[in-house]
Amino acid sequence: MWRLILLAMIPGLITGCGQKIPEPESFTVEASELEEKSAIQVQHFVDGKHVKVECYVPEVSFNEEDENSAKINVYIDGKFYDHYDTAAFIIKNLEAGSHKMKVEIVGLNNQTRHLSKIFEVKII
């Protein structure tokens, strides 16, 4: 009895394995970016009259002892506001209204690094 079952299964195994296994389908996708990636990434959060700013700048350090050390100059409405030597900082007590802010990465001697980001905040 088991020989009969085995003989019945052999043709099924042979024909099932005899066919060419299909190749996986592949397709080509073209990547498109909606926004140009920048060498500087800035996030800001408005908290009342204060603006919390976080900067990410690859290959730049805010430690004065490092070779690639830098600082951040901040401009508010086109006027120099202050400089910071940390990647995250808080701008306090802004007046109510809309403000255009510019974050610029410069060397310790204010030499330009051609890295900046402009954004707008609204203080209520």
Residue in the structure block whose two tokens are 């506001």: 81
- What is the enclosing helix (H) or strand (E) of 8? helix 2-18
What tokens appear for 111 in the block? 């030499």
Residues of the chain with pLDDT under 50: 27, 29, 32-36
Q: What is the Cα–Cα distance from 124 to 121, expressed in whole angstroms?
A: 10
| Planar angle of CA 63, 64, 69, nearest 5 degrees | 75
What is the per-residue pLDDT for 63? 86
Return the pLDDT at 13.
62
Q: Give me the pLDDT at residue 34, please.
A: 46
Instruction: Tell me if the pTM is above 0.85.
Output: no
What per-residue confidence (pLDDT) applies to 35? Answer: 45
CA distance 60 to 58: 6
pLDDT at 33: 47
Domains and CATH numbers, the chain: 41-123 (2.60.40.10)
pLDDT the model gives residue 23: 60
